[in-house]
Amino acid sequence: MMWGAMLFKGTGFLTEVVGNINGTGYINILSDSAVPSAHYLGYVSNFVLQDDAAPCHRARVANEWKEEQGIRTLVWPGAPVTGLEPH
């Protein structure tokens, strides 16, 4: 599996992810790829990380790490939003 970042100013680093990841593995991806990608593209502290409701994204250890780092998060639902179909 591959992990990558897309930002307004361009694309970030592409990282290979081997196997399943847990909260600690997600922290490694964030610290090794996401944050450096944001900094490389000129975002120092003014970016919002968008992730979905995958268990590793919602893990307590990952949420605590993001809070300690001052990373703001926009949660994207992992499942389609229902009830918005036209009648």
User: What pLDDT is recorded for position 1?
Assistant: 87
Question: Is position 10 within any domain?
Answer: yes
Question: Given this model, what pLDDT does residue 86 score?
Answer: 64
Q: Which domain holds residue 14?
A: 2-37+46-75
Q: What is the 3-state secondary structure (H, E, C) of the chain?
A: CEECCEECCEECCCEECCCCCCHHHHHHHHHHHHHHHHHHCCCCCCCEEEECCCHHHHCHHHHHHHHHHCCEEEECCCCCCCCCCCC
- Residue 84: inside a domain: no
Question: Does the residue 21 lie in any domain?
Answer: yes
Q: How many structural domains comprise the chain? A: 1
Is 82 inside any structural domain?
Answer: no
pLDDT of residue 45: 74
**Does residue 70 fall inside a structural domain?**
yes
At 48, the amino acid letter reads: V
* pLDDT score recorded for residue 79: 60
The token pair that represents 34 in the structure block? 């996401």
Cα 12 to chain centroid, rounded: 12
- Would you say residue 86 lies in a domain? no
Residue 87 placed within a domain: no
Residues of the chain with pLDDT under 50: none
| Domain assignment of residue 80, yes or no | no
